[in-house]
Amino acid sequence: MVKENFQIQTTNCIAFMDEAPEVILVQPVDSHDYEMLDSETKYITEHTDKPFILVAFSVNDWNKDLSPWPAPPVFGKEGFGNGAKETLAFVINELIPAVKTKYDISQDIPIILGGYSLAGLFALWSAYQTNAFTAIAAASPSVWFPSFLEYAKSEDICVKHIYLSLGDKEEGAKNPIMSTVGKCIRELSEHYQSKGLDSILEWNEGNHFKEADIRTAKGFTWVSNEVNQKKN
């Protein structure tokens, strides 16, 4: 597997690529996530037979760049912005075309968007905005985000394969808003099932901060296998 760092304008990116990849995995990350990408990629490699390329890109302002709309702080003093639209535009208009050109990848290759925590929420929200993605891998996504559940249940999503997961202790958070995450993700999972989507909700052991790399890898693995199975 080839591992390569590169830049698209001022955005730092890192790619892990098998020979002749059959799916592109796209993931927003912050600086501390970079050290987990090796173990994440290793897990995916060990649990799927299809070659892939994982492309992670840096997010400068996590709360702003991945949030679909402004929201007040739920912990600390930092609120949430509305930078998700701009981030999604970067992924579709710059990142994906650049990756396809750089690595000579087919134009019609399946693309899976995924991420952890607020990046997982961003991935879900993005699937309501565009049909550019084949599947979504949302690991421990921040579905407690104000008004997101209502939005997700009232709009049409553009993908057929959706992975959701949560740690079994996450809904025990002391923060009253974040503690709704269990209720929200159950409702979201039931909603997707009722729509006939190929969706799963997987429960992991521990709180929100346990094994983010493996949880994210499990999400990418599940949807990759589902997409490849439907192609065959």
Amino acid at 49: D
pLDDT for position 19: 93
pLDDT for position 75: 79
How many structural domains are present in the chain?
A: 1
CA 79 to chain centre: 21
**Per-residue CA distances from 109 to 103, 120, 138, 220 (Å):** 12, 22, 20, 15
**Residue 78 belongs to what domain range?**
2-231
Mean pLDDT of the chain: 95
Token pair for 222 = 């599940």
pLDDT for position 231: 63
Token pair for 21 = 């990849």
pLDDT for position 31: 82
Q: Are 130 and 158 in contact (CB under 8 A)?
A: yes
pLDDT tens digit at each of 232 positions of the chain? 999 999 999 999 999 999 999 999 999 999 888 889 999 999 999 999 999 999 999 999 999 999 999 999 887 788 999 999 999 999 999 999 999 999 999 999 999 999 999 999 999 999 999 999 999 999 999 999 999 999 999 999 999 999 999 999 999 988 889 999 999 999 999 999 999 999 999 999 988 889 999 999 999 999 999 997 766 5
* Gap between the Cα atoms of 128 and 39, Å rounded: 30
Write down the H helix ranges in the chain.
37-47, 62-65, 84-90, 96-102, 118-126, 148-154, 181-194, 212-231
Token pair for 14 = 């890192």
**What's 203's domain CATH number?**
3.40.50.1820
